[in-house]
Amino acid sequence: MGLTRRLIAAALALGLGGATAPAGGASAPPMIRPLAGVRTWVVYYGAEASAGPDLARFDVVVLDPHGHPPLPVIKRHGAVVLTYVSLGEVNTSHPEYAAIKDEPWVLAPNPSWPDARRLDVRAEAYRRWLLDRVVPAALAGPVNGLFLDTADIEEIRTVARWGVLDGVTTNPTLFGKTKGMTYDEVLKVICGITSGPVSAEVVADDVEGMLREGRHFAKLADNIYVKVPMSENGLEAMARFRAEGIRTNCTLIFSANQGLLAAKAGASLLSPFVGRLDDINEEGMTVIRELAEIVAIHELETEVLTASVRHPRHVTDAALAGSHIATVPFKVFQQMVRHPLTDKGIVQFRSDWDKARKALAANEGKAPEDVKPTEARV
């Protein structure tokens, strides 16, 4: 089956349907997806965008966290995307290599991989570097899911405990509601709660000012995304941030064309404001659908983040429209949890249990509160 040249030869499969990349990238008839129930895996070390359509044919795709083809293309057929962390060696092109190259636990080159250096896994300093720097950075890449739109630390902690928090977006308005902390302090605390993307917004409207503020934010934590408004200056700033390896979230998008320009400039995330469009009698979800389709068709390496979410239906509609992420106020998160029939069912089940416990207690000569669920006999 024909795969891109850089697709590694060991494309693994569990059961039938495995794949091996032919030498030299020889062409072959178009491949088909495996039979139902067959799980196919592939590991890809490259970053060529042309590999995306081939990778999308696998069920599980493992990618290099520091460079890979556009994720929307790979995920378009439902592939699960994973990343990996190398143990016991580091490539000299790794973003962290310059900071550790003189450490005593960085050893001689790996004979099989000349650009890699072996590492002494017994060293405690290596363990700290791996867990504190490498793993969090690998997990901080593009994600699908739900972000919390707030700067309130307790709200963030609450949703994180639910196990559904994938990232956080902030802005000057939300920060203005916090007390007793600087913006930098708030961002550092948030980045300690979630390893997902945390958006920090610039307030300057000139290019140099945006760059100055964004570079400062990017140094605070590995999972910071610099939030830049859609404008001519914003586009230039995002292009320059991309050249420096700083990830960005383009905010205040109100049309698909604006989103397309931001994606071309290098924005990692595109944030259309659906609620504000609804407020002026436009259909906010139209922009989400158009932009998600543009990203997929043209294989743009960016993700659509639905913003200005006003109610739970916005979250459902955004997911159905192809939005990769929705950033949601805490109140809407709470509304998503609740349903009147769920509340009614909980009350009914509790009432039924209380009646059953009283009956069991009467039969066994116990007080009702002494009957435990695990001890009850029917």
In Å, what is the CA distance from 158 to each residue of 139, 152, 177? 21, 10, 18
Cα(318)–Cα(274) distance, integer angstroms: 9
Helical segments of the chain, H only: 52-55, 71-75, 97-100, 124-129, 135-139, 153-162, 172-175, 183-193, 207-218, 232-243, 256-265, 274-279, 284-297, 312-320, 330-337, 340-364
Helix (H) or strand (E) holding 118: strand 113-119
Quick check: helix, strand or coil at residue 96?
coil
Cα(276)–Cα(136) distance, integer angstroms: 34
Residues 6 or more apart whose Cβ sits within 8 Å of residue 259: 250, 253, 270, 272, 287, 291, 294, 304
Cα(308)–Cα(305) distance, integer angstroms: 10
The catalytic position among 227, 331, 355, 372 is: 227
State yes or no: is 75 an active-site residue: no
* Residues annotated as catalytic (active site), given as ranges: 227
